[in-house]
């Protein structure tokens, strides 16, 4: 598996997004654990989750607990696996999403996430989404405090613009290691943030890199250039999309969600898919 830089460590160029295994439409636990094990078997060493990845009220952290269980039951060495989680976004249990960026809440949420993950310190902790009712600097200040206190090993932000990236880097004293924004053939508006992260040497983690749970299977029919390149290589359009994203900058580490072993097994092959300059130009010019 190709490796890419995440702060002071190296992780797999393709990560695993855990959300589909815990929200609406989720599979049974046994299949989810097989999916996580398949990712680990394929060399994935970055798994992304959040305390808000759950379906019902009263099961906050469902996905964190699931990942912890899968890691514990896998037969291999998990010491190199970085589990990235997030705080500041909540699901009351009625299908809606709410926000809480208050520093005191984020600090407590991080400690609860560490408990569920069964770790002394979280490998990567990310502020999930800006809360308009709380000054952004105060929320990121809580992430800085968690870093200083050793509750987390590395700090990141999610759903951030260029100004927030620069502010976070300043508040964290140059210790911002990642930005996780939506980016895919369907959603290109974070291209500026991706390029800014490349300039700064900060990892950029595209979430929903295949267009989202409901649209991922239709990527080829929705974006013909990806279907054409996929046909030429006899691979899936999804694989082509991930390979294209990897080509945009060395800092890009897509985190495709999966709820079946075959999905993540296909995704990881993107790290070895070599696209020609003409193909990349065609994909960029769709």
- Just list the catalytic residues: 53
Cβ atoms of residues 271 and 245 within 8 Å: no
What does the DSSP assignment read for the chain? Answer: --EEEETTEEEESS-EE-GGGTSTT---HHHHHHHHHHHHHTT--EEE--TT--SSTT-TTHHHHHHHHHHHH-SS--TTPEEEEEESEE--SSS--EE---HHHHHHHHHHHHHHHT-SSBSEEEE-S--TTS-HHHHHHHHHHHHHHTSBSSEEEES--HHHHHHHHHHTTS-EEEEE-B-SSS--TTHHHHHHHHHHT-EE--BSTTS-TTTGGGHHHH-HHHHHHHHHHTS-HHHHHHHHHHHH-TTB----B-SSHHHHHHHHGGGG----HHHHHHHHT-
What does the DSSP assignment read for 93-114? Answer: SSS--EE---HHHHHHHHHHHH
| Beta strand pairing call for 203-204 and 9-12 | unpaired
Cβ atoms of residues 142 and 172 within 8 Å: no
Give the span between the Cα atoms of 268 and 146, in whole angstroms.
Answer: 32
């Amino acid at each position: 598996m190709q490796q890419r830089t995440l702060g002071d460590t190296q992780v797999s160029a393709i990560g695993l997004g855990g959300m589909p295994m815990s929200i609406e439409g989720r599979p049974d636990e046994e299949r989810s654990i097989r999916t996580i094990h398949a990712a680990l078997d394929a060399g994935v060493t970055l798994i992304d989750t959040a305390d808000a990845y759950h379906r019902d009220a009263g099961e906050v952290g469902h996905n964190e607990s699931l990942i912890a269980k899968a890691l514990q039951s896998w037969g291999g060495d998990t010491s190199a696996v970085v589990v990235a989680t997030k705080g500041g976004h909540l699901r009351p249990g009625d299908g809606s999403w709410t926000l809480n960026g208050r520093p005191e809440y984020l600090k407590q949420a991080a400690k609860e996430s560490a408990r569920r993950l069964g770790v002394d310190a979280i490998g990567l902790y990310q502020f999930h989404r800006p809360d308009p009712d709380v000054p952004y600097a105060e929320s990121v200040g809580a992430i800085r405090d968690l870093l200083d206190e050793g509750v987390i090993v590395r700090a990141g932000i999610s759903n951030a613009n260029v100004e927030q990236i620069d502010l976070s880097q300043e508040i964290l004293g140059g210790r911002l290691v990642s930005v996780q924004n939506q980016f895919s053939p369907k959603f290109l508006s974070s291209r500026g943030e991706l390029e800014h992260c490349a300039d700064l040497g900060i990892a950029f983690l595209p979430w929903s890199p295949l267009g989202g749970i409901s649209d991922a299977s239709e990527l080829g029919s929705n974006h013909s250039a990806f279907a054409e390149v996929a046909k030429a290589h006899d691979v899936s359009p999804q694989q082509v999309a991930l390979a294209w994203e990897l080509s945009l900058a060395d800092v890009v580490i897509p985190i495709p969600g999966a709820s079946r072993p075959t999905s993540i097994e296909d995704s990881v092959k993107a790290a070895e898919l070599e696209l020609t300059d003409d193909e990349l130009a065609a994909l960029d010019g769709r």
